[in-house]
Amino acid sequence: MLRFFSFFLLVLCGSLLLLSGCKEIPTDRLYALWLDRVPTDADWQRALPHLVSVRGGRPHKLRSFSEIDEDTVHTSTASCHHGSRLPEPVDVDLRAYYTDRDLFLRLSWEDATRDQSMQDWVFDGERWVNSGAMEDGFGLLWDARGTFPQFSCAYACHISDFGVNRASFHATNKMRLADESAWLDLWNWKAARTAGLGFADDRFLDQSGMHGDTAGELFRENSRAMLSGDGTARPFSEQDLPIYDADRQPAAEGFRPPGTIAPGFLVERPKAGRADVVAVTDYRDGRWVVVLRRSLRTGDARDVVFVPGDEVGVAFGLALMDHTLYEHYASQTMERLVLLKPGSGQPVPKDPSDNSLFGDRISSHFSGSRER
């Protein structure tokens, strides 16, 4: 504990030098330190933590909301629920490092339920039944051009057709920007659909909605009703069936023991610009731990550029999904990522001995996945 605290003070001193005599370190900053290697678990323990509180979502637990107010239309973000029992905010621990080529960003938060399936099918011995399960996830929005002076998820986004009712929740997620000339870089991690293939979906957001950096659909519903499109059955309903099983074999053929799982979505591995953000995912002790890696400069027109030594940094917002696509938590404060320039007074952690399985997994994964 003492060792960590000493390192923490050194980092603060280095930050003060960088900020040229400022009396206070801004509380809206996530500082990234330079390393000459892929960070290990021990490095992450020494990193300067920054907590971002996200608010307004619906936690996945056995007891749901009660006594929601009368219909209320919202025009900011789907996380703005009204009612007598608002959920507690979720604190997300963010830490960052960078090398000469890449940014490494670690996000960790408490989540009592590991929701890592998305509309999966289960064979009950006689027929396929859809589980209705939803996945956890998050979205990181980057104000790459400094368009918004007080940037946050709630400030930048506009969602229409949103309302709540005492008896039921209903929403149409049309996430988009109000300004026709603005765009934001979006990194979208999904516990079921992207984590298994080791990536976060690299997208961008503009007035018309969300788009992949590379055109095309990565996620297709594993649904005969969706494939036929004749309207005789609703996708994932009791009348629907999966097309393929988990081995990409026809789900209607062959023997299946009870409990066999088929995915709700068929996921294609991303290519080119859509594969820029690599992700290593772990769930341990009731917490998600996700480490992202992306080049400081990708060359893509819709990607944020990270510049070491830029004291202003890049503004970002964070949205967190807990077993839902709609009722997400969102950051409401202005946050910035600053890459401290090497040699500006910051201490560089020495290469520690690290026998952690997750640390080894991160190093081997990132070292083996550099090429696009």
221-253: b or e for each residue (b if 16 or more CB lie within 10 Å)?
Answer: bbbbbeeeeeeebebbeeebbbbebeeeeebee
Per DSSP, the three-state class of 119 is: coil
Rounded mean pLDDT for each run of 10 residues along the chain, 372 residues in total: 44 46 67 97 95 77 43 37 62 98 98 95 96 95 90 62 36 65 94 97 91 93 92 90 95 93 96 97 97 98 97 94 79 92 64 47 55 42
Contact 339, 18 (CB under 8 A): no
Domain range summary for the chain, segments of one domain joined by +: 2-367
> How far, in Å, CA of 119 to CA of 236, rounded?
7
Tokens of 251: 């789900």
Hey, what long-range contacts does 252-261 have (CB within 8 A, 24 or more apart)?
Answer: 256/123, 257/123, 257/125, 258/123, 258/124, 258/125, 259/122, 259/123, 260/122, 260/123, 261/117, 261/120, 261/121, 261/122, 261/123
Q: How many helices (H) and strands (E) does the chain have?
A: 5, 23
Residue 287, H or E segment: strand 287-295
In this prediction the pTM is 0.80
- Comparing CA positions, the residue from 252, 240, 282, 258 lying closest to residue 119 is 240
Q: Which residue has the tokens 């036929």?
A: 228
* Contacts for 253 with CB less than 8 Å, ≥ 6 apart: none
Instruction: Give the CATH architecture of domain 2-367.
Output: Sandwich (2.60)
